[in-house]
């Protein structure tokens, strides 16, 4: 056992102990009184009070107890600690998790605060280590990693960096942090310059697509978190019916991560007015995942509105108790079809329920001014523009200013071309794979699709492949200057797709997705770690948002003056961000939600899987243990002896 402040303890002992002992040298000056017998006065002869010096020091239980009380308090001032028998690493790297789950309050005040205390204890250990310890580096990580303190021996700088790590509501991933330190660790190992010890301070709720790797370092996992309780809103979406756009269907899902079922009250608000109050019971967690309670509401919503859904169960993570959505105002879709004559495509678009379908030949299209295609809300007639454009076997000379769908053609976007199939693959082909989880491919089964002479897509790096044929990608989404282009690389009339049920399903998904600006729902919501570009020209003066309201704090997140578009800083916390100027919906209120079933699972894990170095809580023989402060135990012991001393004293006071 070592003391961090031995000098303070010695000074306190040198002052208080002699004073306490000196009090027992004082002598009681007795007053003589004649009594009939001393049998009943034996207690009175004990020196419970003093008023004259001096007397011989005798064995006294009260003195012993008071010395023990004093010893406990003096030991606490000296800050005793226990340190394991270990070899400190030559270099220390601290990876501190500050993702959403680290805001859980199952430890006081939060897991992040406890993680910072562990990191500070590691830094304090550097000051007590032998001469081989040369410093430390501090890195914070969530879905991204950031070096908050480069490698240094300045302990004060390291402490300030740890204390300044902010709380976020992002997802947690260990891979980015390991990639940041990989080159440093490998360089030390190649030079044989000593051992690098990497401490991962986290609750272990990291979500990596594959097992992260780290070689050349001694990896240590310090777990935070105990026995949490959490019920979360893990899904919230809203859709409008194209045939009845004033109606909105709201879908939600609650998840329970506690061992037993939970009863709570769910409240749905529309523009801060209570619309529904519903008591629900969420099933208990199972071996395969959390207990799930799906919910569905159908609302009459003739205009734009802010939806708020929350529960009143008292749990340990507040970030997922409430979710918001900004529902866009209803509108009937206007779609332009540019084709030489394709009855199958025209009928499929009509089946979507669009308000207006305009058919135009390619030659007629090229004589139109591009501004005529942009949708103007509130206008009717030819000048109203379009929500989406569909091109059939025709590539426009200039990319349209409207989200578009292309069949057997591609827009003139840099890095995007259609390459004819090679001679060996020029016949009929099948779809080998497609992105089933993408909004455009929802419920669209392509395993029976047969294509004749499909073209292969050559795509830019930012493109999303939707389907892959035998010769390569045949369906993809490309984004260019904020405009979405969905490209299908084969001719509909040279395939059996128009005869399959998946074709109208795909058309319905795509037209709706393009018309809503790349969304499958009629509501706007964002996630922590995302940013958004808003039209600042709608505001009078500098654009500024404040929030989040949900966490009770106010923080300025964006400002621009004079630009048509402005990109706001990345959202770090969930909540509702409100524009401080008059803005048109949905830009007046920006909803940021966690809505992450994995991140809402805040149960800490005992082990993090890292290839080339498996880490677990305290199982490695060369682990450098952090200090364990004993001063709280000293204070508790002093209070216990003080209570015993009080009992002994009061018993002696009774004759």
**Would you give the DSSP letter of residue 330?**
P
Successive 10-residue mean pLDDT values, the chain, 655 residues: 72 80 63 71 56 57 79 80 50 93 93 94 73 75 93 90 94 91 76 76 87 83 92 89 76 94 95 93 90 92 87 94 86 85 89 83 87 68 79 90 92 90 67 89 90 90 91 91 90 92 91 72 78 67 72 54 68 89 79 93 89 47 47 81 79 61
What's the pLDDT score for residue 639?
A: 85
Structure tokens that stand for 444 in this block: 């669209």
Is cis: bond before 586, omega within 30 of 0? Answer: yes
**Would you give the DSSP letter of residue 100?**
G
Structure tokens that stand for 267 in this block: 């409240």
Element (H, E) at 272: none
Cross-strand pairs, 334 = 356
**Residue 339 vs residues 67, 361, 418: alpha-carbon distances, Å:** 98, 5, 19
Between CA 363 and CA 615 the distance in angstroms is 66
**Residue 552 vs residues 455, 544, 573, 588, 595: alpha-carbon distances, Å:** 55, 18, 11, 19, 19
For residue 155, count CB atoms less than 10 angstroms from its CB and return exposed for 0-12, middle for 13-18, buried for 19 or more: middle
Neighbours of 524 (CB within 10 A): 22
Beta strand 565-567 with 555-560 is unpaired
Beta strand 334-338 with 356-360 is parallel
Q: In the CATH hierarchy, which fold is given to the domain comprising 231-327?
A: Immunoglobulin-like (2.60.40)
User: What homologous superfamily is domain 91-226+603-627 in, according to CATH?
Assistant: von Willebrand factor, type A domain (3.40.50.410)
Between CA 250 and CA 537 the distance in angstroms is 31
Domain extent listing, the chain:
2-82+637-653, 91-226+603-627, 231-327, 334-515, 525-592
Is cis: bond before 652, omega within 30 of 0? Answer: no
Q: Where are the alpha helices (DSSP H) in 86-128?
A: 111-128
Residue-wise DSSP of 352-368: TT-SEEEEE-HHHHHTS
Element (H, E) at 645: helix 631-653
Element (H, E) at 9: helix 6-23
What's the pLDDT score for residue 623?
A: 38
Structure tokens that stand for 67 in this block: 């010395």
Between CA 374 and CA 482 the distance in angstroms is 14
Which of 130, 311, 165 has the alpha carbon at shortest distance from 233? 311
Pick the CATH number of 334-515 from 3.40.50.880, 3.40.50.2000, 3.40.720.10, 3.30.110.70: 3.40.50.880
Question: Would you give the distance in Å from CA 105 to the centre of its chain?
Answer: 15
Cross-strand pairs, 221 = 200
What's the pLDDT score for residue 443?
A: 85
Q: Is 129 helix (H, G, I), strand (E, B) or coil?
A: coil
Residues 6+ apart with CB under 8 A from 149: 136, 137, 138, 157, 158, 161, 162
With beta carbons less than 8 A apart as the criterion, state whether 189 and 214 touch: no
Between CA 612 and CA 218 the distance in angstroms is 10
Q: Do domains 231-327 and 334-515 have the same CATH topology?
A: no
Which of 295, 320, 321, 325 has the alpha carbon at shortest distance from 307? 325
**Residue 602 vs residues 206, 235, 293, 511: alpha-carbon distances, Å:** 10, 17, 18, 39
Which of 280, 327, 281, 320 has the alpha carbon at shortest distance from 300? 327
**Would you give the DSSP letter of residue 213?**
B
Between CA 164 and CA 548 the distance in angstroms is 20
Residue-wise DSSP of 570-592: PP-S-EEEEESS---TTTTEEEE
**Residue 196 vs residues 136, 141, 188: alpha-carbon distances, Å:** 10, 19, 8
Tally of residues, the chain: 655
Which of 425, 435, 408 has the alpha carbon at shortest distance from 495? 408
- What are φ and ψ of residue 234, in 5° steps? -105, -5
Q: Is 220 helix (H, G, I), strand (E, B) or coil?
A: strand
Cross-strand pairs, 404 = 389, 485
Q: What is the pTM of this model?
A: 0.65
With beta carbons less than 8 A apart as the criterion, state whether 216 and 110 touch: no
């Amino acid at each position: 056992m070592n003391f961090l402040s031995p000098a303070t303890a010695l000074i306190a002992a040198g002052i208080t102990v002699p004073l306490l002992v000196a009090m027992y040298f004082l002598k009681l000056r007795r007053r003589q009184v004649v009594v009939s017998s001393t049998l009943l006065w034996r207690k009175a002869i004990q020196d419970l009070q003093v008023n004259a010096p001096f007397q011989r020091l005798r064995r006294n239980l009260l003195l012993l107890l008071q010395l023990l009380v004093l010893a406990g308090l003096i030991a606490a001032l000296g800050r005793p600690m226990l340190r394991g028998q270990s070899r400190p690493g030559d270099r220390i790297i601290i990876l501190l998790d500050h993702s959403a789950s680290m805001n859980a309050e199952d430890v006081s005040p939060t897991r992040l605060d406890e993680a910072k205390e562990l990191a500070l204890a590691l830094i304090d250990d550097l000051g007590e280590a032998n001469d081989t310890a040369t410093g430390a580096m501090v890195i914070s990580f969530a879905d991204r990693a950031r070096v908050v303190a480069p490698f240094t021996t300045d302990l004060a700088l390291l402490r300030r960096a740890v204390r300044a790590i902010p709380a976020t509501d992002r997802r947690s991933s260990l891979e980015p942090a390991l990639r940041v330190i990989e080159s440093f660790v490998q360089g030390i190992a190649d030079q044989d310059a000593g051992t690098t010890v990497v401490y991962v301070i986290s609750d272990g709720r990291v979500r990596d697509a594959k097992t992260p790797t780290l070689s050349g370092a001694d990896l240590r996992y310090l777990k935070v978190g105990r026995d949490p309780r959490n019920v979360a809103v893990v899904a919230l979406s809203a859709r409008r019916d194209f045939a009845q756009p004033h109606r909105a269907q709201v879908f939600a899902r609650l998840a329970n991560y506690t061992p037993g079922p939970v009863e709570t009250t769910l409240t749905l608000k529309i523009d801060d007015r209570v619309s529904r109050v519903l008591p629900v019971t969420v099933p208990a967690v199972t071996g395969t995942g959390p207990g799930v309670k799906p919910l569905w509401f159908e609302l009459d919503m003739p205009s734009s509105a802010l939806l708020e859904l929350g529960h009143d169960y008292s749990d340990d993570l507040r970030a997922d108790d409430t979710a918001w959505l900004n529902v866009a105002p209803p509108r009937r879709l206007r779609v332009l079809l540019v084709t030489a004559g394709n009855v199958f495509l025209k009928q499929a678009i009509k089946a979507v329920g669009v308000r207006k379908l305009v058919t135009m030949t390619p030659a007629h299209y090229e004589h139109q001014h591009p501004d005529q295609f942009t949708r103007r809300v509130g206008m009717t007639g030819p000048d109203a523009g379009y929500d989406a454009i569909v091109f059939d076997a025709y590539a426009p000379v200039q990319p349209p200013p409207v989200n578009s769908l292309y069949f057997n053609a591609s827009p003139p976007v840099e890095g995007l071309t259609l390459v004819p199939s090679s001679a060996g693959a020029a016949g009929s082909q099948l779809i080998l794979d497609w992105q089933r989880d993408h909004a455009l491919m929802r419920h669209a089964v392509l395993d029976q699709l047969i294509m004749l002479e499909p073209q292969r897509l050559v795509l830019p790096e930012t493109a999303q492949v939707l389907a892959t044929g035998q010769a390569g990608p045949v369906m993809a989404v490309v984004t260019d200057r904020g405009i979405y282009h969905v490209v299908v690389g084969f001719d509909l009339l040279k395939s059996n797709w128009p005869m399959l049920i998946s074709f109208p399903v795909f058309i319905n998904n795509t037209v709706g997705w393009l018309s809503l600006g790349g969304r499958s729902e009629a509501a706007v919501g964002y996630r922590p770690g995302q940013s958004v570009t808003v039209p600042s020209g709608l505001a009078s003066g500098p654009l500024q948002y404040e929030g989040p309201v949900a966490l009770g704090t106010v923080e300025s997140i964006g400002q621009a003056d004079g630009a048509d578009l402005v990109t706001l800083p990345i959202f770090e916390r969930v909540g509702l961000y409100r524009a401080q100027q008059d803005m048109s919906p949905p830009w007046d209120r920006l909803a940021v939600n966690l809505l992450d079933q994995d991140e809402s699972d805040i149960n800490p894990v005992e082990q993090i899987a890292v290839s080339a170095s498996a880490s677990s809580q305290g199982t490695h023989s060369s682990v450098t243990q952090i200090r364990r402060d004993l001063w709280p135990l000293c204070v508790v012991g002093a209070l216990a002896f003080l209570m015993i001393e009080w009992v002994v004293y009061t018993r002696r006071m009774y004759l």
